[in-house]
Chain A
């Protein structure tokens, strides 16, 4: 008995000790002060909550291919360099390229001034904006606005043209509204008016719910028109003014790497296919940088061919009027120079050879940055709603124009972009979008959809379409007319859950 008591006592004591130890362990387990340093070694990965560190995501997550996708989903997602840019074992080389990327970025972000003694001088004498980033806020798309102002984020350009879509040459294709004194701009002001639009269904779906149901914009669609005030150069009777807005600039190097032949083949495929979708290629453009002909693929109308001759590169000349080594002349019309002369101003500085404000080396650095901006990786592709949205997206014909993927060709300017499978969701072709979307023309290039879901995170808006008439994804779909009218109608006919699923899919890619 004594011995049993002893054993009991020992067991009880051991249990008591274990208990006290256990309590301490339990407390200690969640005591951050004690354990945190060891447990904090978790590695954070932004790919997907379901994917543990070390697991490579599925191919479709790599919107910009293995070499051109960033998994950085912060508010700076649109300004990340493509991983391939510095993918070399030569550390010194990688550092030099990285520095070139940053230097190129500085051209995009800097404020250009007219002060010849200050850095980044060269603004004007006639211009639109003082800095690229003002029209491409945070590297993304321009923001909807009701005034054609100098406000940051207003990325509208005004195109002045005839009724039959011919640009008027007394103002350049990108109307300038600013000038460095004493010079006066060709036009003093552009006024924007927002107009209501009601479709034949009274802006309602077949199930009776209004477009934009539950939002402040419920039941409404709007579109902008523009007029000029203070026209100082001759314009023909009946001229028209159309607005177009900037789009995101990331991923353009990858689009540049798609072979011309592949785009032509896609146009032929569409032409041979039944249905209304018949995309047209851009014209073949002989480009100054290599003297060769390339297929038009950039701008809303496929008017620019390669990125080297493309709108971004062109913009630094035409928006702030920085004269380049290869373009020593001003971006100004003769009519504007005549106007200055008529005002009694000294026009000699306007007609003589201009000083180089951007050297060849500057341009190379700028292009290193421009072509290597990465595309944000897709997200949430495994979610059932997104998968459902993908199926519906394909079923109703969105993918007819928003071609999901391409394979890039040989791209000597950045060999890491060679043979990449990319997911831009564009066919790179122009489509007739109907009279409802008439601007300078009714034909617009299918814009890439990649990264759209990151717009709110990166730019704090979801304004889309050529003139930003669409305030969000739903409106963007509802503004599809012309060749896409049938797809619009099919979208309208979908149950609400499927409409939402399509939008979730577009947000995910």
Chain B
């Protein structure tokens, strides 16, 4: 018995040695490419299914909620309605800020990021429209806001203008009938635009039924784009990405871009006497703007929400340079801390404001630079000099 076992084990051993030898005879380049492709597939898959898809789903869910409550403002408002709208607006705004790392592909093809969150807004033009609505010279709806009006007259910041004052929801009686109609239209337009963004990522047919209905009833063009599918099929003839690494690079460069978008606005948001240079003109939640932005960036870098993360670009950076990956982690923690320290900064002296905002900006720039170094470590795009 023992002898038979040893014989079987011996033959298995010979076969295994031959197998390993065979594998070893494959070129190192092929093997490395195989492994790299497999890992990239996992990173792309987790990025799509743990970051983008749930992120867009949460965004459109929150906008659908906001839209539903906002419509009540024109039909059966109570004193609570503006408070509920303000609460829903903050939730939706938070979800929106988390999506910044995936404003590539469909978002930039159709300028959806610019339109959903157009900044700065054009208050004189909005006021003019409100006068015309009040005078019965204009009817406003989501499509009218898109054309002939332009993007500076709709989106999150326009809703902020109509809904908040000094960080609080406006009182129902202070919101004119024209403002209520305008607010309903702008929230409707935002919701439709966000749904079209989600539809283009996952394919219209995969949208939830209630979302499909809203999009179908809108004037927004519905096409057959399924960008997420192409993203996963990068490198094949079914994708607009000719190589897997093109899709992978999108994740990296958009993470850098999301950080780049935050850094220059810090001083204007927290230390500029003209509030119009900041991001939260009337709701005044600048801290929330940044906290959600950082949270979205973390999701992109680590491949999902806290507690639900697997393959990510962090892993690729760590494979090349584990210390850099750790430094990026420290960068996230430091940036969060610096933003937290700006909570009551506007009540501090000018010197203290200058110091704290500069530190926060430095922290942001450092994080951005580290992620960029990570990208350049993993990618080596020829940068041949003349």
| Interchain CB contact under 8 A, A113 and B386 | no
Chain A, 45-74, contact with B by CB distance < 8 Å: what is the 0/1 string? 111010011001100001001110011111
User: Is B348 interfacial (CB-CB < 8 Å)?
Assistant: no
CB distance from A499 to the nearest CB of B (A): 19
Contact of B118 among A36, A111, A129, A460 (CB under 8 A): A111
Point out the residues of chain B lying under 8 angstroms from A130, CB to CB.
122, 150-152
* Main SS at interface, chain B: helix
* A138-B109 contact given A16-B10, A26-B19, CB 8 Å threshold: yes
Interface flag for B142 (CB, 8 Å): no
Interface size class of B (residues with CB under 8 A): 35 or more
Interface: B17 (CB within 8 A): yes
Assembly CA distance A57 to B381 (angstroms): 11
A330 part of interface (Cβ distance < 8 Å)? no
Q: Check if A73 sits within 8 Å of B123, measured CB to CB.
A: no
Do residues A87 and B36 form an inter-chain contact, with CB atoms below 8 A?
Answer: no
Given A15-B13, A115-B124, also A42-B386 (CB < 8 A)? no
Q: Are B120 and A22 in contact, with the CB atoms below 8 A?
A: no
Q: Does A29 lie within 8 Å of B20, measured CB to CB?
A: yes
Q: Is A207 an interface residue (CB 8 A)?
A: no
Interface string of B101-132 (1 = CB under 8 A from A): 00011101111001100111111110010000
A342 beta carbon closer than 8 Å to chain B:
no
Min distance, Cβ A142 to any Cβ of chain B, angstroms: 12
Would you call A120 an interface residue if the criterion is a C-beta within 8 Å of the partner chain's C-beta atoms? yes
Q: In whole angstroms, what is the CA distance A13 to B13 when docked?
A: 10
Asked whether B334 is an interface residue with its Cβ less than 8 Å from the other chain, the reply is no
- Chain A hits for B380, CB < 8 A: 43-45, 53
Within 8 A of A (CB), among B236-291: 240-243, 245-250, 253, 260, 274, 276-277
Q: Is B355 an interface residue (CB 8 A)?
A: no
> How far, in angstroms, from A453 to B276 measured CA to CA in the complex?
41
- Chain A contributes a number of interface residues (CB within 8 A of B) equal to 86
| B333 contacts the other chain (CB 8 A) | no
Interface set, chain A 145-180, CB cutoff 8 A to B: 147, 149-153, 178, 180
Stretch at the interface among B52-60, B170-178, B181-189, B314-322: B314-322
In the complex, what's the smallest C-beta–C-beta distance from A63 to chain B, in angstroms? Answer: 13
Identify which of B13, B105, B386 contacts A16 (C-beta below 8 A).
B13
CB of A291 to closest CB in B, whole Å: 30
| Contact between chains at A75 and B250 (CB < 8 Å) | yes
Cα distance, A147 to B123, chains bound together (Å): 26
Cα(A180)–Cα(B124), bound, Å: 9
Does B12 reach chain A (CB closer than 8 Å)?
Answer: yes
Contacts beyond the supplied A66-B384, A134-B151, A181-B125: 18 A-B pairs with Cβ under 8 Å? A15-B10, A19-B16, A37-B319, A40-B35, A66-B385, A71-B383, A74-B249, A75-B105, A75-B109, A76-B104, A76-B250, A111-B114, A130-B122, A133-B111, A138-B108, A152-B114, A418-B386, A419-B386
Can you pick out 21 interface pairs between chain A and chain B where the beta carbons lie within 8 Å of each other? A16-B12, A19-B16, A20-B9, A22-B15, A36-B35, A36-B315, A43-B379, A49-B243, A66-B386, A75-B104, A75-B105, A84-B385, A111-B114, A113-B122, A119-B276, A138-B108, A150-B148, A150-B150, A151-B147, A152-B114, A180-B124
Residues of B within 8 A of A (CB): 3, 5-7, 9-17, 19-20, 23, 29, 31-33, 35-36, 38-40, 104-106, 108-111, 114-115, 118-125, 128, 146-152, 225, 240-243, 245-250, 253, 260, 274, 276-277, 315-316, 318-320, 378-386
A interface residues (Cβ-Cβ under 8 A, vs B): 9, 11-13, 15-23, 25-26, 29, 32, 35-47, 49, 52-53, 56-57, 62, 65-67, 70-76, 83-84, 87, 102, 109, 111, 113-115, 117-120, 123, 129-131, 133-134, 137-138, 147, 149-153, 178, 180-181, 379-380, 416, 418-420, 456-457, 459-460
